[in-house]
Structure 1
């Protein structure tokens, strides 16, 4: 599966994303994480790209839908993404860096520990 809600620990939700990300996979992973958001309250998100190959067009259409993730956006403090440098700019656009209340930062694959430290700061 290309997107998987992996775990939650100390208020950090971890999602692992591999392959090409499709709307159905993203929505399923997000719905699994939503339950944790309701239970945790304020949370931080760590996204780990593992052989990530980009987004399918159907996912972009899903995200344009008004209200998608809007309910939880107030509860998200920070989002850290760990992946190859070539995905930095498209990810920052996808995550709406600078347009949402949550801080969004991108880290290279050898910087996962730094990403976790940033989330915990």
Structure 2
């Protein structure tokens, strides 16, 4: 698994994920979100799935969650990648049961994902 930081500006992060996501990688993303929420009161992330191969089958997933319900109300997540991952990725992030702003965009709609993430922002790395 590779997680590459493309750009960061305050509470906004653009990362690229390739290969299989491990429990350890997931915890790194979780800490990134927690840190942004503590420092800036919000967290916006563009997750570009490039050569993504799903989730590892190691133990530990049963104890993972991506931020608390209260924190997730201050979060906006856009995932961009191959549409074959759309349903699984949205389910993994809890879209069907959480009130978080989470959307999946096909790779061809990267520009649209950036605009969606930047909604309500005066300045955004996604508008550069």
Q: Are 1:3 and 1:26, in contact at CA under 8 Å, matched by a contact in 2? A: no
Q: Secondary structure at the match of 2:98?
A: coil
For residues 54 and 67 of structure 1, the distance between their equivalents in structure 2, rounded to whole angstroms, comes to 17
For residues 67 and 22 of structure 1, the distance between their equivalents in structure 2, rounded to whole angstroms, comes to 13
**Which TM-score applies when normalising by structure 1?**
0.80
In the alignment, does 2:19 pair up with 1:36? no
Corresponding residue number in structure 1 for 2:89: 91
**Which TM-score applies when normalising by structure 2?**
0.76
Corresponding residue number in structure 1 for 2:124: none
Q: Are 2:33 and 2:67, in contact at CA under 8 Å, matched by a contact in 1? A: no
Unaligned residue ranges in structure 1 (runs of 5+): none
Alignment counterpart, residue 102 of structure 1, candidates 100, 105, 108: 100
Q: Are 1:5 and 1:32, in contact at CA under 8 Å, matched by a contact in 2? A: no
Deviations 1:20-68 (A, max 9, x none): 1110122123323432231121222211111111101237x43x32765
Change (3 A) 1:11 1:24: closer
Q: Are 1:3 and 1:29, in contact at CA under 8 Å, matched by a contact in 2? A: no
Q: Which runs of 4+ in 1 moved over 3 A?
A: 4-7
Change (3 A) 1:15 1:37: farther
Number of residues of Structure 1 aligned to a counterpart in Structure 2: 118
Map 1:1-121; keep pairs closer than 5 Å: 1-9=1-9, 11-58=11-58, 61-62=60-61, 64-65=62-63, 69-70=67-68, 72-76=71-75, 78-121=76-119
